[in-house]
Amino acid sequence: MRASTNPVPKILSWNPGTAPSSVTKEWAQHLDRELRSSLENPPYGRADLALTLAGHVKAFDALHDIPEVTETALLPPRIGPIRE
């Protein structure tokens, strides 16, 4: 995996914690709502960043499909879709 396609630094740049295992669905959903909020990000919210976050979470979940990564036990459980 090239560094440019590695989702781990992209997810960690959103400050969920210090390790990949600190990423949770609750954290991702909270950040998604915060980004889309016009109160937190006036005047219209940042739906573009919320979509970027959703894409990073999807790529992060895809790491579970790589046996070498799954064997490290550093990943949290799959997050799944953050918008329901």
pLDDT at residue 74 above 80? yes
pLDDT tier for residue 61 given thresholds of 50, 70 and 90 = very high
Q: In this predicted structure, what is the pLDDT of residue 4? A: 85
Q: Which amino acid is at 23?
A: V
Cα dist from 65 to 44, 58, 68, 69, 70, whole Å = 36, 12, 9, 8, 8
What distance in Å separates the CA atoms of residue 37 and residue 22, rounded to the nearest whole number?
24
- With a cut of 90, say whether residue 78 has pLDDT above it: yes
Q: Provide the 10 A C-beta neighbour count for residue 57.
A: 26
Instruction: Give the global pTM.
Output: 0.88
